[in-house]
Chain A
Amino acid sequence: MAAQNNVLSSKAAESAAPKKQNDTFNQKDKPTQVRLSNITAAKAVADAIRTSLGPRGMDKMIETGKKEVVISNDGATILKHMSVLHPAARMLVDLSAAQDVEAGDGTTSVVVLAGSLLSAAEKLLNKGIHPTQIAEGFQGAAIEAVRILEDISIPVDLEDREFLLKSATTSLSSKVVAQYSSVLAPIVVDSVLRVVNPATDNNVDLNNIRIVKKVGGTIDDSELVSGLVLNQNAITSAGGPSRVEKAKIGLIQFQLSPPKPDMDNQVVVNDYRQMDRILKEERNYLLNLVKKIKKAGCNVLLIQKSILRDAVNSLSLHFLAKLKIMAIKEVERDEIEFICKATGCKPIADIDSFTEDKLGLSDLVEETEANGARIVKFSASKSAGRTASIIMRGANQYVLDEAERSIHDALCVIRCLVKKRALVVGGGAPEIEVSQRLFELAKAQTGFQSICFQAFAEAVEVIPTTLAENSGLSPISIVTELRNRHANGENAAGINVRKGAISDMLRENVIQPLLVSTSAIELSTETVRMIMKIDDILASR
């Protein structure tokens, strides 16, 4: 391999020569060095988050540059905040992000798997196998692995709520909020089932599920609202209602405050009668607006935030209150789409187009207070679109943020099931099965392919090993016993973390979507192949 060490464009060598720290550029076995350096850096990343894997995994506390504290167990979140510097290590960070986008869950496993594959590759490199061959071999093994996973997967029916609940619970069980999984799992499953049509949809738009976070109370108090939930409060300062039944909801993008003249123009008063007229005009202008709104039958008014003018003033609030219209201001622009979908209303940009057909419906709009935080709930109406809102409660901001991430992961798990309706068991069982079958396949082959298959098979066992380690069990005895069980045909035998023993994962209800496992193997193998193929790092400007 050293023989390939080309002259590496001599230009770079020259420019590097005067600097002492760039001695590496003059070394002969540079590609090997680069590869090893990349592998070490990437492995370090995997190593750093390895302890977070599984239901008994630990958390990381990260204090960001802005002195904010993040406590998380989610691989993608940890890596995102860690500000890793080495470019090869960054690839693993991106890998985790990719898994987050693709599957949403298994972001720690994917990185741990990549780290393990890299170690295996390192050993193969030391044996003198060419990196390209390793890359090819791993690719072949990964394809086989995915095939094996599909083979052992169990098809799932979206009508079977029990199954979905189990997989959501499995995802949640590894998070900080694990003890609340009995509360959160039904919320997750029901919210997804609400927004999809199981018969036709093969993807879930998670934008249709809105998560509202409020500090106070415990996670137990979290709930699913089938309609819409707004963080903003109803304005009651002028005595307006905070509870409206049979609501007709209008969403306006104009303001209920007196128009101001442009900067350069001024209204000139030179007679005392004009003063009265100005005051009266202002009243009448607002009164007119409010009356038109009332006339259209609207009794709940949402007002989009504007930076130019006050959304409402005390006078218009007073009128709204008198006409028993509930007002909520400061609706954010990016909330509009969801609100429209949830209530069936259309945003109204001008008073003249304020007509009844643009209003949304809701049986009950109510401002409720619980644990020191106020929210406005809109119960769903029949005309509304398929949306759901999840109200998250938590003791403090850290818990709340972490709970939101966990919910997101669990939502993604259900989404995976909608995308690809098959399940595999968890607890390290599929990995052991893949490993065993790959060993078998390796025996049928010759040459580097066979060695690569073997190495890959061994590397995949990192998942059960880590799972056992993190749970305080002995990895050697657990993994060997697992191998034994699987060799005897117990496909679903996995680590029962709670009992500290091996048992049938299907019976323990530890299940996860097939997509999470396959995408973890595919993505990590691709990243490893990429790292294998790099033989030089150059600074560019």
Chain B
Amino acid sequence: MSGIFETSNQDSALTIGGTRVSGQEVRSQNVMAALSISNVIKTSLGPVGLDKMLVDDVGDVTISNDGATILKLLEVEHPAGKILVNLAQQQDTEVGDGTTSVVIIAAELLRRANELIKDHIHPATVIAGYRLACKEACKFIADQMALKVDKLGNEALVNVAMTTISSKILGGYGTFFAEMAVDALKAIKTTDYRGKPRYPVTAVNVLKVRGASARESSYFTGYALYRPFTSQAMKRTLKNPKIAVIDFDVTKTRMKMGVNVVIDNPENLEAIRKREADISAERARMLLDAGVTALFSTRGVDDVYVKMFAEAGAVTVTRVPKEDARRIAKGTGASLLTTLANLDGDESVDPATLGSAELVEQVRLADDDVVVIRGASEQRASTVILRGANDYMLEEMERSFHDSLCAVKRVLESGACVPGGGAVETALDIYLESFATTLGSREQLAIVEFANALLSIPKQLSVNAAKDSIELISKLRAYHAAAQKASADSPRSQLKSYGLDLHNGKLCDNVKAGVLEPAMSKIKMLKSATEAAINILRIDDMIKLLPEQQPEDPHAHM
């Protein structure tokens, strides 16, 4: 029966407006594309990974060590490659860390799957094996490897932050920034309406200021705004300010489109001009009368009105970015006013829309003036000021810092972490291999390959550190095998937290050494890598259509 399809020669019989690649060929092509993507970023993995310099067509330079950032800037053409790029991006948005590892694992899974399929194992079997292995692996991490943070205390949080930072440009100042990240995040703790603690990472305001070394970076509670007070004549510090945040111009009023000012009497000209100025002056007066002493505007304020505020002892900040304005409003309990109109058809300032804080001041940072709001009444904010030698460095610092914030947030919210340095991957490798032998079906082979694919992480870590990967990995495997054989209370079971110490080229207990990662990020990483690999493996046919082809004569090929 199956014979009916054998005789037909696909390539000649099916005429489509494009090219078609199917079967083993397309699989190999896809795997190749995935591998080349992973090759690009694999040297960036780990604490001793190296950076990439990316130059775009305009000449802008980005230097980064972060997988997602690198891949975002690469122009990947191949559709299978794009899936991997998406994967890294998704890991970045959902977890914020582990973007390089996820791509490396996915590519390695694909490479091994392709080998299996070449050995005449049906792709469906490989996929089923991978799914099973992934499920087991996630269960193993949650049951065996995860450590509760409340037991480990604050130190563990710092360690988690340090582990992510150590692989990035900030690595040299690990503890310094790790503590900063933990403090910054703890300062902004809020609870949502279900009473669950939340750590909105966006509430940590990161300012980048060029000059001085990274060690000069500082952190304080309060909200800093990279804008000076509008006028030199204003006070430098203001206690207990009443804050208004507005989103309209305090400039000369112009009539709208479609309204023409036509004057037949020259005397009227002056009156109209005066009125144009007065409309805003009235608004400024209204604000001052309501007791506003600090005005933040997302738009402009003309000099005339700035003077009014300065004379009244108030301060103004103009051209505040909208995002900042919103956060200031939220933090101080003010509302962002888009207009002063009230429900009677007139204009007035409602005192309820004003916010308050303990202090507004202008401080000097390098060459720039920065406005800082301290002790906002509603919500705490924390600000981190990063210092660095140049813009590239600052940007990379911001990304690294953001990654560590995300990692700490995950641990705080989920409350579990796992030892890093390849410990989890090696443990999983041992576990899955023994799990595979309990299965009598064909999936066994795929599970073993899945297990071995995970080893690519510790391998790459030690290769990047220029250490003997073969020796280290064999030793590490031996440790973990011993740990899993041992009973829970024997001292040998503690070997499960052993991982690589890349600086010394040895093995060490990574829980004690403080190399920790959020458990959730590891689980998510495995899940999405498996998912992406399966996505690509399931493809056995690729059809590329010609771009906007002319409708061909349907008889031509007869």
Which chain A residues have a beta carbon within 8 Å of chain B's beta carbons? 21-22, 24, 37, 40-41, 43-48, 50-51, 56, 58-67, 69, 71, 73, 81-87, 89, 115-116, 119-120, 176, 179, 216, 237-239, 258, 260-261, 265-272, 275-276, 278-280, 283-284, 287, 291, 314-315, 317-319, 322-323, 371-372, 395-396, 398-399, 458, 461-462, 465-466, 469-472, 475-476, 479, 500, 537, 539
Query: In the bound complex, how far is the Cα of B341 from the Cα of A283, in angstroms?
Result: 7
Q: Which residues in B have their C-beta under 8 angstroms from that of A66?
A: 547-548
Known: A269-B260, A318-B339. A469 touches B542 (CB 8 A): no
In the complex, residue of chain A having the shortest beta-carbon distance to the beta carbon of B264:
A270
Contact A238 B528 (CB under 8 A): no
Kindly list chain A residues whose C-beta atoms are within 8 Å of the C-beta of B343.
Answer: 287, 291, 319, 322-323
B556 touches A21 (CB 8 A): yes
Neighbour of A47 across the interface among B10, B93, B548, CB < 8 A: B10
B93–A272 CB distance below 8 A: no
Q: How far is it, in angstroms, between the C-alpha of A479 and the C-alpha of B265 when the chains are bound?
A: 100
A84 to B372, CA, bound (A): 65
A76 CB, nearest partner CB in chain B, Å: 15
Contact of A267 with B260 in the complex, beta carbons under 8 Å? yes
Alpha-carbon separation in the docked complex, A317 to B336 (Å): 12
Is B413 engaged at the interface, CB distance under 8 Å to the other chain?
no
| In the complex, chain B residues whose CB is within 8 Å of the CB of A319 | 341, 343
B2, B268, B441: the one contacting A475 at CB < 8 Å is B2
B538 contacts the other chain (Cβ, under 8 Å)?
A: yes
A-B pairs, top 7 by smallest CB distance, nearest first, are A472-B122, A44-B14, A44-B13, A56-B124, A272-B275, A58-B540, A314-B338
**For residue A265, which residues in chain B have a CB less than 8 angstroms away from its CB?**
258
B1 at the interface (CB under 8 A from A): yes
- Whether the pair A462, B1 counts as a contact (CB closer than 8 A) is yes
Q: Which residues of B contact A (CB under 8 A)?
A: 1-2, 4-5, 8, 10, 13-18, 20, 22, 26, 79-80, 82-83, 86, 90, 93-94, 121-125, 131, 247-248, 253, 255-265, 268, 271-272, 274-276, 279, 335-339, 341-343, 345-347, 441-442, 528, 531, 535, 538-549, 552-558
- Which of A50, A61, A270 is close to B539, meaning CB atoms less than 8 Å apart? A61
> What's the minimum C-beta distance from A536 to chain B, rounded to whole angstroms?
11
Q: How far is the CA of A489 from the CA of B539 in the complex (A)?
A: 38
Chain A positions within 8 Å of B268 at CB level: 270-272
Shortest CB-to-CB span from A55 to chain B, Å, is 9
B269 CB → nearest A CB, Å: 10
Q: Assess whether A179 is in contact with B2, with CB atoms less than 8 Å apart.
A: no
Once the chains are docked, how many angstroms separate the CA of A476 from the CA of B3? 11
Question: For residue A58, which residues in chain B have a CB less than 8 angstroms away from its CB?
Answer: 123, 538-541
Q: Are B79 and A60 in contact (CB under 8 A)?
A: no
Please indicate the chain B residues that have their CB under 8 angstroms from the CB of A51 in the complex.
540-541
Distance of A470 Cα from B123 Cα, bound (Å): 9
Pairwise interchain contact B336-A238, C-beta atoms closer than 8 A: yes
- Residue from A44, A179, A275, A280 within 8 A of B276 (CB atoms): A275
Contact check, A61 vs B1: say whether CB atoms are below 8 A apart.
Answer: no
**Is there contact, CB below 8 Å, between B545 and A62?**
yes
Which residues does chain A contribute within 8 Å of B256, judged by CB atoms?
258, 278
Name the one of B345, B552, B556 contacting A283, with C-beta atoms under 8 angstroms: B345
Q: List 13 A-B contacts (CB under 8 A).
A: A24-B558, A47-B10, A48-B10, A50-B5, A85-B15, A120-B4, A265-B258, A269-B255, A271-B271, A319-B343, A395-B90, A470-B124, A476-B2
State whether A275 and B279 are in contact (beta carbons under 8 Å apart), knowing that A21-B556, A270-B268, A398-B83 are contacts in the complex: yes
Pair A278/B255 contact, Cβ less than 8 Å: yes
Among A64, A272, A276, A278, the one with the most B-chain Cβ atoms within 10 Å of its Cβ is A272
Instruction: Please give 20 more A-B residue pairs, beta carbons under 8 A apart, in addition to A62-B542, A176-B535, A216-B93.
Output: A24-B558, A37-B558, A41-B15, A43-B8, A44-B15, A47-B5, A47-B14, A58-B538, A61-B80, A81-B543, A119-B5, A268-B260, A269-B272, A270-B264, A272-B272, A275-B253, A283-B341, A396-B86, A396-B90, A479-B1
List of A residues within 8 angstroms of B8 by Cβ: 40, 43-44, 47
CB atoms of A471 and B124 under 8 A apart: yes
Q: Which of B276, B335, B347, B545 has the most CB of A within 10 A?
A: B545
What separation, in Å, do the CA atoms of A319 and B274 have in the docked complex?
29
Interchain CA distance A276-B278 in the complex, whole Å: 10
- Cβ of A318: which chain B residues have Cβ within 8 Å of it? 337-339, 341
B14 / chain A contacts, CB cutoff of 8 Å:
41, 44-45, 47-48, 84, 89
Q: Closest B residue to A41 by CB, please name it.
A: B13
- Which residues of chain B are near A47, meaning CB under 8 Å? 5, 8, 10, 13-14
**B90: which A residues are within 8 A, CB to CB?**
395-396
- Nearest-Cβ distance from residue B108 to partner chain A, whole angstroms: 20
B258 touching A266, Cβ below 8 Å = yes
- B544 contacts A63, CB within 8 Å? yes
- With most chain A CB atoms within 10 A of its CB, the pick from B22, B83, B124, B546 is B124
CB contacts (< 8 Å) of A272 on chain B: these are 268, 271-272, 274-275
Contacts of B556 in A (CB 8 A): 21
Contact B540–A60 (Cβ < 8 Å): yes
B275 / chain A contacts, CB cutoff of 8 Å: 272, 275-276
| Chain A residue with the shortest CB-CB distance to B540 | A58
Measured CB to CB, the nearest residue on chain A to B127 is: A56
- Given A63-B544, A65-B546, A537-B555, A472 and B539 contact (CB-CB distance below 8 Å): no
Give A500 to B262 CA distance when docked, in angstroms. Answer: 88
Which residue of B is nearest A282, CB measured?
B256
| A82→B271 contact, CB < 8 A | no
B336→A237 contact, CB < 8 A = yes
Cα A469 to Cα B338 with chains together (Å): 66
Given contact pairs A239-B336, A271-B268, A317-B338, A539 touches B553 in the complex (Cβ within 8 A): yes
Bound together, the chains give a CA A284 to CA B341 distance in angstroms of 10
**A359-B255 Cα distance, complex, nearest whole Å:** 37
